[in-house]
Amino acid sequence: MAENTGMSRARFMAAAAAVGVGAAAGLPLASAAEAAAEDDTRRGRAGRGLTHRGVVYTVGAGETPGTAWSERRMRGDIRAIAHDLHADTVEVTGDGVERLTATADEVAERGLHVWLQPTLGDVPEKQILDHLAEAGRHGERLRRQGARVTLAVGCEFWLFVPGIVPGADVFERIENLRKEDFDLAGMQRRLAAFTAKAAGVGRSVFHGKLSYAAAQDASFENVDWNLFDIVGIDYYSYFPQRERYVAELRKFRRWGKPVAITEFGTCTFVGAPEQGGMGWDAVDYGKEPPEIKGDLVRSERVQAAYLTDLLDVFESMGLYAAMAFEFVTADAPHRPDNPRYDLDMASYAVVKPLKNRPDDPDSPWHWEPKQAFHALARQYGRKSA
């Protein structure tokens, strides 16, 4: 089975954020829509709470020898997610069937809900679908053994899958999106065709609940949710008023299906929530080593407050699931000694990696919890008690 091209989720998001697609932040909403959404919450959805509370766990190969995927490290991370973060769900995402299945096995062994989301990209369609099928078959085996498993057939295909947006690789596609050098109607037709193929593959190998992780901008990625059991949205909005989140999220209920927030989060600096999906763009990867742009001020408190505020909204609306993005971004280490190279500031992760030798790519490292980890743990723990 083919592996990916070596780009981690962090690097992908750093590049994709520059496009600005799906990073709605502060879009105006009619007051009538706000009132209707608030009324919808008051009429019985309030207080039901989320069914599943979780975190995204990415299983990419890693960018350096020091951050390469490790089964030993993964097992320790899943143990911490279960026992310390008090999550009941882990979104296992990334590429490499062996990494995906080993992680899914560990999540199931811990008694947690497996949200399995393979995301192989930048290879031919057939390889992406074969990768999905192999991962999905393993998810079905786990489900038949009694594990709680949901299969998401992928994430934002418009950027991961060649041929939907013009470009030989993800970076060319990003540039074409940035320049608006593509036909939106043609892109949406190709996207719909591939999404239907992926849903068909998912149904053929997996007999539990099926989902997909879409960009929140439905005018750009207009998914036919009739193909799926659960509406999945990667959500990075920022509004000063809580009612505006409710109004924006309410539109995803029109399909009459459970709504899952497949990603939500923010970076670790003052002003990050207002950046929405653009937070990754705080790193200049054109420099060696990469460095933080400008004079950002690190703030774990800002990140924690945004996560808990959004969780309150999701709980009040009785959404199906919410997965904080993400547990750890190994290739974005924290540098308390040198803020210019503190890449963790531009990380959405709820733990911070620290290297024994900060300038050595082969250096051993460990993680420590951020304030966001503790804030999530308090909220998740209260709901699971």
Percent helix / strand / coil, the chain, rounded to 5: 45, 15, 35
Q: Tokens in use for 358?
A: 């900060």
pLDDT recorded at residue 19: 52
pTM: 0.90
Residue 163 lies in a domain: yes
Residue 224 lies in a domain: yes
pLDDT recorded at residue 385: 64
Q: Tokens in use for 151?
A: 């299969």
In sequence order, the 6+-apart residues with CB closer than 8 A to the CB of 174 are 15, 16, 18, 19, 159, 167
Task: Check: CB of residue 355 under 8 Å from CB of residue 376.
Answer: no
Indicate the burial class of 254 (C-beta count within 10 angstroms; 0-12, 13-18, 19 or more): exposed
3-class secondary structure, 179? coil
Residue 274 lies in a domain: yes
Strands in the chain per DSSP E: 52-58, 89-94, 113-118, 149-155, 209-215, 231-235, 259-264, 283-284, 291-292, 321-324, 351-355, 365-369
Would you write out the chain's pLDDT as a tens digit for each of its 385 residues? 333 344 444 445 544 544 554 443 333 333 444 344 444 434 444 457 999 999 999 998 888 888 889 999 999 999 999 999 999 999 999 999 999 999 999 999 999 999 999 999 999 999 999 999 999 999 999 999 999 999 999 999 999 999 999 998 888 888 888 888 889 999 999 999 999 999 999 999 999 999 999 999 999 999 999 999 999 999 999 999 999 999 999 999 999 999 999 999 999 999 999 998 888 889 998 999 999 999 999 999 999 999 999 999 999 999 999 999 999 999 999 999 999 999 999 999 999 999 999 989 889 999 999 999 999 999 999 876 6
pLDDT recorded at residue 4: 39
pLDDT recorded at residue 171: 82
CA-CA distance, 246 to 97, in Å (whole number)?
37
CATH code of the domain covering residue 347: 3.20.20.80
By residue range, what is the domain housing residue 74? Answer: 9-384
Residue 86 lies in a domain: yes
Query: CA nearest 269: which of 299, 228, 240?
Result: 299
94 beta partners? 118
Residue 1 lies in a domain: no
Tally the domains of the chain: 1
pLDDT recorded at residue 16: 53
Residue 78 lies in a domain: yes
Residue 4 lies in a domain: no
Whole-angstrom CA distances from 157 to 71, 174, 255, 315, 374 are 28, 13, 21, 28, 33
CA-CA distance, 238 to 273, in Å (whole number)?
6
Residue 3 lies in a domain: no
